[in-house]
Structure 1
């Protein structure tokens, strides 16, 4: 049943072509916009408060990614979340580097508190830090494994009414109803900057068509990463091939490749 829901969500994204508003970092704007286009969604990198109310009135979902955070961005982000709330739209929070600085940690928690409909997508260290547990990190890179972040994810689900996606060698998707374990992906993927940010953008595209857990996006990117790695000589070609495979992925291949397990419900 879960596999069928994931494949149906892929079809829905391609049919509905949802608009995803992204307040995201300078490093990954091109990557994430191209990934959204490749999967069939429509990206817009909007950062101005002056147009955000209009944007969120017709957009499908909002991404808040704090990767290149500064004091000018924070009020724009909080205002965008308020507009998403006013229009009943899902907010995907990517707490990049949460735990690496007080500014990043406090801002992540402020956005999480503010959002009415929230998906949090981070690596294990970011999820642990957001939950106010001890995390090992160096900037935006995780030094913790995904499985030890599960207790932090359960806390965040209760604290913020959120769904939580822990990305890593193994992905976990934690909701109030169940926890799903995904073992797709490839060891080369962390060698490409912005893979997590790409997952956050795709998560918003799926949320915009009603798949609000994060599991479909994690499944799709994991499978695509595996397929792309089989054809790539290194990280440079992997990045390009992932875009191609996002565009080419079909329901049958997705269902056949998926390695998922519901570990509690």
Structure 2
């Protein structure tokens, strides 16, 4: 076994331990997230073994941050109250050293989103930025291609864009797509699990962000934690699609939750497709 194979085996073992920790510790994840997929995020967290709290009232968020394992901010349907709540929550999380996952939905399509992201990065520490390739390249200043909230970027230069952003903000970057990219600017992993059906349901990306908040809430290394969440979602999608005689969006969505719930260490080690660069 060469050094790369050893590294990939170590990563898969670390991912399996991370998922076990989620189920053993039941991290409380506070989500200030978009209204289109809020129920999906809550349910996938429950299936994963975490405890969701969709707590976004600006009069309550700072107190609630004191109770949580991690904070998830998704700016997909950002209202004025969510904006105020997100700023307060991120600032408080920094004071209490709580990890924060940010999903920069549509940041390359709507200028206000980029302004909000810059403010959140100023008032606190963002542990992970997770977006699609178009969003990540837009944040990096490399002209990512978006159609509304969906990436239509071909992924060219994706690893470079992720590394630039990770180093600029001293954070973990996860760019989802046909091949997912996770990097801290030095270490980089590619995850090749997934199914095209994940693009046929609402909220797949939002759910990855929520799962990432759960894993960073129980794991000291946010790079491993982020890779664990991305791989778990991709593998569950793959297994859900493979389990169906006819792969249709409605039944696929239900099976996706089932396979997140039932995922075992053995399935991760056997089915996980991770490449360490």
- The TM-score, its normalising length taken from structure 2, stands at 0.92
2:163 is aligned with 1:154: yes
- Counterpart position of 1:105: 114
Q: Partners of 1:124 and 1:108 in 2: how far apart? A: 16
What secondary structure is seen at the aligned counterpart in 2 of 1:49?
coil
- Counterpart position of 1:19: 28
- Counterpart position of 1:231: 243
Matches within 5 A, 1:1-265: 1-210=10-219, 211-213=221-223, 214-232=226-244, 233-263=247-277
Aligned alpha-carbon RMSD (Å)? 1.2
| TM-superposed deviation, 1:47 | 0.6
Q: Partners of 2:143 and 2:185 in 1: how far apart? A: 23
Larger displacement relative to structure 2 (115-124 or 104-113): 104-113
Q: Partners of 1:248 and 1:187 in 2: how far apart? A: 21
Q: Deviations over 1:35-70 (max 9, x none)?
A: 000010000001112221221112000001001013
Q: Deviations over 1:166-222 (max 9, x none)?
A: 101100101133100110001111111110000000000000001412100011111
Question: Contact (CA 8 Å) 1:92, 1:121: kept in 2 or not?
Answer: yes
Paired residues in the alignment total: 263
Contiguous gaps of at least 5 residues in structure 1: none
Larger displacement relative to structure 2 (207-216 or 244-253): 207-216
Q: Partners of 2:275 and 2:84 in 1: how far apart? A: 40
| TM-superposed deviation, 1:109 | 2.4
| TM-superposed deviation, 1:22 | 0.2
Question: Contact (CA 8 Å) 2:28, 2:51: kept in 1 or not?
Answer: yes
Q: Partners of 2:94 and 2:154 in 1: how far apart? A: 33
| TM-superposed deviation, 1:4 | 0.7
Q: Partners of 1:114 and 1:186 in 2: how far apart? A: 37
Contiguous gaps of at least 5 residues in structure 2: 1-9
Question: Contact (CA 8 Å) 1:23, 1:46: kept in 2 or not?
Answer: yes
Q: Partners of 1:11 and 1:120 in 2: how far apart? A: 23
What secondary structure is seen at the aligned counterpart in 1 of 2:71?
strand
